[in-house]
Amino acid sequence: MMAAGQYVTHEEVWLSLPWLANGRLSQAERDRLEPHVQTCSTCREELTLQRRFCNALTEPDRVTYAPGPSFRKLMERIDSAPPQARNDTARDEVARPARRPVHLWRPPGLAWAAGFVLAIGLTSALTSVYNSARPLYQTHTDPVRGAPNILHIAFDRSVTVGEAEEALRSTGARIVEGPDSSGIFGIAPSVVASADTIPEHVSQEMHLLSARLRADPRVRWVEPIPGDDSSGGAPAPLSRGP
Amino acid sequence: MKGTQYIDPQTPAEPSYRSGSSAAREVELISRIAQGDRKAFEELYGLYHRRLARFLTRLTKRYDVAEEVINDTFYIVWRKAGDFRGESQPSTWILGIAYRKARNAFRSSSRILAIENPEAPPPPLTTDESLRTEELRDWLVHALVQLPVEQRLAVELCYELGYSCEEISSIMSCPVNTVKTRLFHARAKLQKLLPALGGLVPKDQGDRSSSGAGVKS
């Protein structure tokens, strides 16, 4: 442990004096420490005191302890304990570090948590992809935007509201929506179709109305009825450039 | 420097329970206990009962508590004997179990004692040399009560049961330097207490603990 003749400090000797006193140092350790004790009066006196402590505390007992009754109590306790518990309990009572039991199947714990996080991430990613695939804008040809039997119309910027109303009135149309933030109106024929009107007649009326409005130079564009195959859903040509 | 004469010839002899033959016998007993041999268990119990009873009664001041700790310790020995692989001395293994049981018991019993049995200090030390050792023990026991439990246990394991620093380190599950530090502080406190109690230590040595300065708690 310690080589004889090696340099030793007073503090090191001082810390080791209890074991020099109780006789539990190795010969090599004693050979190393004793020269200092021989020359240091403080350590020598302390060693004497330490030995007195050891002797005092190892004096024979004035009390006799009889183990018999205690042992009988212990055996009663052991006998009353479940026999199968002998090698399976009290794992934490010994200094050896406790080992976790090994199971063929383990509670999911971390694996489940990781799977849950992965599922959330995947769902989030798919949602992002879906959202990114959708246009961030809507047009007036968008089926969800347009209502049946309504045309969308944009007038030239120089056209006043009164002129727009006059143009609509002259072509047999009326405003039913808008204008929205872009100045787009929703219009419908002035004459409301009755419930028993044939759908083909309504469609034809809307096409005629659309044609009349496109002919008006104050109208920039008129959007056909959404979903109308006859118009192909294609944007109508601008009546006039921007 | 072997055989220098200043060394007190009254150095405590190696306790018989720690001799090589005793350790081998205990290993054999533990092996038999692992097979359920009650005779071997009774023999091992008898070997340790006296020293544990003395150590624990001094620590807890109550034999009933000491007996409970001893039986808790040997209950574990009975159940765990099959796990003992001889990696440490049998006495270190058993004392390690007893230490953990005693530490808990000490904390609860010391609270009881503080209420039920405030103990008066022993009378001053006599000048009769034949009685001095016995009285010194009484004074030491009285002074030990005033130490923190970990320091007190370290003192008892070193002075009374005669364990080496490494063995105490194993029993208390702490580093060797921690054992030395606990003993250092315990000694410093004892040296302050004992001169006042019985004039054991010369007055000019009342603060010799500073000679070992540099040890931190």
- pLDDT at residue number A171: 84
Cα angle for residues B17, B23, B28 (degrees, 5° grid): 125
Closest residue in chain B to residue A26, using alpha carbons only: B164
Closest residue in chain A to residue B94, using alpha carbons only: A94
Take residue A116 and report the two structure tokens written for it: 């849950």
Q: Where are the extended beta strands (E) located within chain A?
A: 151-155, 173-177, 185-189, 219-223
* Residue keyed to tokens 């009889």: A66
Contact residues, chain A, for B169 at CB < 8 Å: none
The dihedral formed by the CA atoms of A224, A225, A228 and A233, expressed in degrees to the nearest 10: 50
Find which of A1, A93, A96 to mutate to test the B interface (most B CBs within 10 Å of its CB).
A93
* Cis omega (within 30 of 0) for bond into A69: no
- pLDDT at residue number B14: 45
Contact residues, chain A, for B191 at CB < 8 Å: 49
Q: Please list the ranges in chain B whose pLDDT falls under 50.
A: 1-14, 16, 112-118, 202-206, 210, 213, 216-217
Nearest to A38 among B1, B201, B208 (CB): B1
DSSP string, A91-156: GGGSSSPP-PPP-SS---THHHHHHHHHHHHHHHHHHHHHHHHS-S---TT-TTTPPTT-EEEEE-
Contact residues, chain A, for B12 at CB < 8 Å: 21-23, 51, 54-55, 58
Nearest to B4 among A38, A43, A71 (CB): A38
Does residue A92 surpass a pLDDT of 70? no
Question: pTM for this structure?
Answer: 0.54
B120 and chain A in contact, CB less than 8 A: no
Closest residue in chain A to residue B53, using alpha carbons only: A65
Element (DSSP H or E) covering residue A207 = helix A199-215
- pLDDT at residue number A240: 41
Instruction: Specify the higher pLDDT residue, A204 or B159.
Output: B159
- pLDDT at residue number A104: 46
User: Which pLDDT tens digit goes with each residue over B138-175?
Assistant: 788 888 888 888 898 899 899 988 999 999 999 999 99
DSSP B88: S
Question: Are residues A223 and A140 in contact, defined by beta-carbon separation less than 8 angstroms?
Answer: yes
CB within 8 Å of A157: residues ≥ 6 apart? A183
- pLDDT at residue number B33: 94
Mean pLDDT of chain A: 74
Closest residue in chain B to residue A57, using alpha carbons only: B160
* Residue keyed to tokens 């049981």: B101
Does residue A74 surpass a pLDDT of 90? yes
B83 and chain A in contact, CB less than 8 A: yes
- Burial (Cβ within 10 Å: 0-12, 13-18, ≥19) of residue A158: exposed
ipTM (interface pTM): 0.72
Please answer yes or no on whether A63 and B57 come within 8 Å at the CB atom: yes
* Residue keyed to tokens 């002899």: B13
- pLDDT at residue number A84: 55
User: Which pLDDT tens digit goes with each residue over A160-196?
Assistant: 878 888 888 888 888 887 777 677 888 888 876 666 6
The dihedral formed by the CA atoms of A187, A192, A198 and A199, expressed in degrees to the nearest 10: 20
Residue B106: strand, helix, or coil = helix
Question: Are residues B99 and B107 in contact, defined by beta-carbon separation less than 8 angstroms?
Answer: no
Please answer yes or no on whether B97 and A94 come within 8 Å at the CB atom: yes
Give the C-alpha distances (Å, rounded to integers) separating B86 from B10, B82, B90, B94: 32, 11, 7, 12
Residue type, A57: L
B39 and chain A in contact, CB less than 8 A: no
Per cent of chain A over pLDDT 90 is 18
Among A40, A115, A149, A24, residue whose Cα is nearest residue B212: A40
From CA A81, how far away is CA A213, in angstroms rounded? Answer: 101
Among A81, A29, A219, B191, residue whose Cα is nearest residue A89: A81
CB within 8 Å of B187: residues ≥ 6 apart? A18, A50, B209
